[in-house]
Chains A and B, each alone.
Chain A
Amino acid sequence: MYKKLTFFCAALSCILLGGCGSQSGENGVVIVYNWGEYVDPDTLDMFEEETGIKVIYDEFETNETMFPKIEAGAAAYDVVCPSDYMIHKMIENDLLMELDYSKIPNAKANIGAWYWEQSQAFDQGNRYSVPYCWGTVGILYNKTMVDEPITSWAQLWDETYKDEILMQDSVRDAFMVAEKTLGYSMNTLNPDELQKAKEALIAQKPLVQAYVIDQVRDKMIGGEAAIGVIYSGEAIYTQYENPDLEYAIPEEGTNVWIDSWVILKDAPNKENAEKFIDFMCRADIALKNFEYITYSTPNDTARALIEDEEIRNSPIAFPDLTQYDNLESYVYLGEDGDTLYNELWKEVKSY
């Protein structure tokens, strides 16, 4: 009996572990790890058809959830699309491969010079990353539910909007709002400034309806809240669904972010990964993606192809950033900085 059982168990585990080979295209596979719904699925089909490379596609929710998976090497990915400060962190942790731009000709040809320059902040010399989407963090508000236009972060502390405010449920974004309101840098590590920012967030908590990441969009469309902190890429879509909504870049300044493609150092399919990034930089593909996900594209050639002039020159999707002098990007704060921010954020959340 005993032998039979162990045999059964052994046999079972063999079947289970062995029977899971994934099918591959004629030219192999590329394993992509991207934000949820951050690409038009049609473009993936087109890539497969044109190159014969099968795309294995996986999604993550935040930079912070993506990082441990990559660091642990739990699943072998080729191409990932993290944000600026996280790319910095990944470079510091020696997780990324230096790119060979001769294999990715579309990148340099189509992506605007401004974005490359902006990327230098986290990727010195543009050696590791190719910009995919960018935007600002701002305030989305419902014109019918507020008395005056919302133009500043300070209005998120206004008692009249009690229970009508949606804050971002992520450390950096939440602290950015408080720090900018108080006139600090969003990358500050000054303990006094951080204490003040924390106290401001605690003071704001009774006014906040909820801390959310993704649901700002749904809740704003449904008129569930009057004011929400949101990524600019969501604004076009929400306005289309609910014309009462208005997007504003607050006067105290805000965060400009870039999400970029990177290839992992231990990627199993490096060549296919390069082909994938090159394909994503093609103007027609970038345009298709822009139309699908409505996040601003750094692909100038693609932007020129947008037929609707209103969108091509939309101040939300393509704001003229030169008129703001207090925009910043997140930088990686180092391990101690991360820990400090997390500790303070927990104090806010559990208050």
Chain B
Amino acid sequence: MKYKKNILAAPYVLWSALFIIIPLCMIFYYGLTDKSGAFTMENILAIASVGHAKALWRSLLLSLISTILCFLLAYPLAMILAGKKGNQTGFIILIFILPMWMNFLLRTLAWQTLLEKTGVINGILSFLGLPPLRIINTSYAIVLGMVYNFLPFMVLPLYNALAKIDENIINAAKDLGANKIQTFFRIILPLSVPGIISGVTMVFVPALTTFVISTLLGGSKVLLIGNVIEQEFTQASNWHLGSGLSIVLMIFIIINMLVTALLEKE
């Protein structure tokens, strides 16, 4: 049986070799060579330059904040949804993916319309006699955009994991005298770890690497590492430097993977 099942993995192994591994090798090749094709570490060490280091630090900070916010917002929501019975939940879950059917670029542009100086939210605020909200073109707007765009990626895996928890276990805990808080921290939270890992990965990574959100909502005043890489590829057409910085980015992502792998072991 084992043999047969391993063969089932063959199509995907082939696929990933062809479309994931080989392209990745190409990135490494570009990242570790200069224009003449000679080996160099320059493209990777370039991360230490003033502009790059600042952009990387800011990206890490903003994506971390966004991930935490997404988690804090999504966990109670996923619990509420998982607690619902019957045919309601599927519908509600779909409602969460539904916004993604409006194009990503359009949705983010819509936030611009909402947040602008003369935008909708400020229109409402001034109508109510409140001071205007000045967050467009700042890091706050970028965090908002990240949370908005990636929240569904946190909700869905959390819901998937929470819905699977056997209610009998929770009831057993209660019967054994655990209060609500104890049940949560000792039963529900540990059992939802696979969902948390998926969710955190699905939010942190796109947030770390985005460049569209920072361009549209940050007014290009806040430079993230994603913007730098994008510009190296599309504007400066220095693929070697772009690849080198991507490798640096991958290192941070590998750190993320190691942390989650450790968590999984526990």
Determine direct contact between A and B, CB below 8 Å: yes
Closest-CB distance, B106 to chain A (whole angstroms): 14
Interface residues of A in 308-351 (CB under 8 A from B): 338-339, 342-343, 346-347, 349-351
User: In the complex, are the beta carbons of A67 and B237 less than 8 A apart?
Assistant: yes
User: In the complex, are the beta carbons of A346 and B235 less than 8 A apart?
Assistant: no
Q: Taking the complex as formed, is B54 at the interface, i.e. its CB lies under 8 A from any CB of chain A?
A: yes
CB neighbours (8 Å) of B8 from chain A are 1-2, 5
Say yes or no: A1-B237 contact (C-beta < 8 A), given A347-B50, A350-B223: no
CB neighbours (8 Å) of A2 from chain B are 7-8, 10
Q: Taking the complex as formed, is A92 at the interface, i.e. its CB lies under 8 A from any CB of chain B?
A: no
Contact digits for B67-111, partner A, Cβ 8 Å, 1 yes 0 no? 000000000000000000000000000000000000000000000
Say yes or no: A6-B219 contact (C-beta < 8 A), given A64-B236, A67-B237: no
**A68, closest chain B residue (CB):** B237
Contact digits for B1-26, partner A, Cβ 8 Å, 1 yes 0 no? 00010011011001100000000000
Interface residues of B in 129-158 (CB under 8 A from A): 137
User: In the complex, are the beta carbons of A169 and B118 less than 8 A apart?
Assistant: no
User: In the complex, are the beta carbons of B219 and A210 less than 8 A apart?
Assistant: yes
User: In the complex, are the beta carbons of B236 and A339 less than 8 A apart?
Assistant: yes
Could you say which of B215, B220, B227, B236 contacts A342, with CB atoms under 8 Å apart?
B236
Say yes or no: A224-B50 contact (C-beta < 8 A), given A64-B236, A65-B234: no
User: In the complex, are the beta carbons of B51 and A171 less than 8 A apart?
Assistant: no
CB neighbours (8 Å) of B215 from chain A are 169
- Sort chain B's interface into a size bin: 20 to 34
User: In the complex, are the beta carbons of A71 and B237 less than 8 A apart?
Assistant: yes
Say yes or no: A6-B234 contact (C-beta < 8 A), given A212-B219, A223-B118, A224-B116: no
**B116, closest chain A residue (CB):** A224
Once the chains are docked, how many angstroms separate the CA of A209 from the CA of B8? 55
User: In the complex, are the beta carbons of B220 and A64 less than 8 A apart?
Assistant: no
Q: Taking the complex as formed, is A9 at the interface, i.e. its CB lies under 8 A from any CB of chain B?
A: yes
Say yes or no: A346-B237 contact (C-beta < 8 A), given A210-B137, A210-B221: no
User: In the complex, are the beta carbons of B221 and A205 less than 8 A apart?
Assistant: yes
Q: Taking the complex as formed, is A211 at the interface, i.e. its CB lies under 8 A from any CB of chain B?
A: yes
Closest-CB distance, A37 to chain B (whole angstroms): 16
Say yes or no: A211-B50 contact (C-beta < 8 A), given A6-B10, A62-B235, A339-B236: no
User: In the complex, are the beta carbons of B220 and A169 less than 8 A apart?
Assistant: yes
26 A-B Cβ contacts within 8 A? A2-B7, A5-B8, A6-B10, A6-B14, A9-B11, A9-B14, A65-B234, A68-B237, A68-B239, A71-B237, A169-B220, A171-B235, A208-B219, A208-B221, A209-B137, A209-B219, A211-B219, A212-B219, A212-B220, A223-B118, A339-B236, A339-B238, A342-B231, A346-B231, A349-B220, A349-B227
Interfacial residues, chain A to chain B (CB-CB below 8 A):
1-2, 5-6, 9, 62, 64-65, 67-68, 71, 163, 169-171, 205, 208-212, 219, 222-224, 338-339, 342-343, 346-347, 349-351
